[in-house]
Amino acid sequence: MKKFKFFISIEKEERWLNEQLQKGYRCTNISGLGIYTFEKTDKRYVMRLDYQDYLSKKKFEEYKGIYEDFGWNYLKGYWLSGIRYWQKESDDQDEIFSDRESKSQYYKRLMGYSLGLCMVFLVYSFVYYRDSALYHEGLWNMENSLFWKAFIFETPFVLLKLFPAFMVVLLAGSYYKAYRKYSVLKEQ
C-alpha cells in the first residue's frame, strides 16, 4: 500500500506513522516526495523519528550502531534533511531518548531545523515579492463578468505565489512549539 503525505512537523509525521502501525501496516520505504510504502504485518511495531545535523560517515556509523544495539532498525534518512527514521518491534523500551537531556537536545536540533528552513523561505519571499504584484495589474481595470473570470483564473497562481510566505508562518510555528518544549525540559 502506498500513501502520499506531506509534513512540516516531525512529531506529527511520527504520530501518523505510528497510527499506521496501530492499523497493522509497517512502513517499508519513504520517498523524498512524501510517498510512504506500507506492508501488512501481524507484529506490533513502533517508529521513532530523530533529527541530526550533518554527520560524517564515521559519526553516522557510530550513531547508527548505538540505536541498532538497542534493537532499532534504520529505515531511512536523507543527508539533506537530517531526519532519521527508526523502527522496531514494540516492547517496553519504545523511546529513543532515555533522559531529559537527550530529549532537550532533540528539541534544540528541531529548533535549528525549523529556523534554517524558515530563513530559506523568508529570504526567497523577500526576493520574490520585492517587485511582484500578486494579481496582474490589468485585472483591476476589468469590468463585470470579465473581471470575475480573470480573478478566478488568477487566484490559484496567487496562492502559489504565496506558498513561501505560508511556509514561513508554518515553520515559525514549528520552531515555537519546539522552543516551548525545549524550555520546559530545561526548566525541570
Domain annotation covers residue 133: yes
Sheet holding 25-30, edge to edge: 2-4, 35-40, 25-30
128 and 177 fall within a common domain: yes
Per-residue model confidence as pLDDT tens for the chain (188 residues): 888 888 888 888 889 999 999 898 888 888 877 888 899 988 888 999 888 877 788 888 888 888 888 888 888 776 656 888 889 888 877 788 777 888 888 888 889 888 988 999 988 888 777 766 777 777 888 888 888 888 899 889 888 888 888 889 999 998 999 999 899 888 87
Looking at this protein, which amino acid is placed at residue 147? Answer: F
pLDDT computed for residue 128 by the predictor: 74
Residue ranges making up the domain that contains 157: 100-187
| Integer angstrom CA distances of residue 54 from 26, 40, 57, 103 | 27, 33, 10, 19
- Does the residue 158 lie in any domain? yes
Last residue of a domain, one of 89, 111, 140: 89
Q: What is the reported pLDDT for 131?
A: 67
Please give the pLDDT value at position 80.
Answer: 58
Final residue of a domain: which of 34, 56, 89? 89
C-alpha cell at 51: 533529527
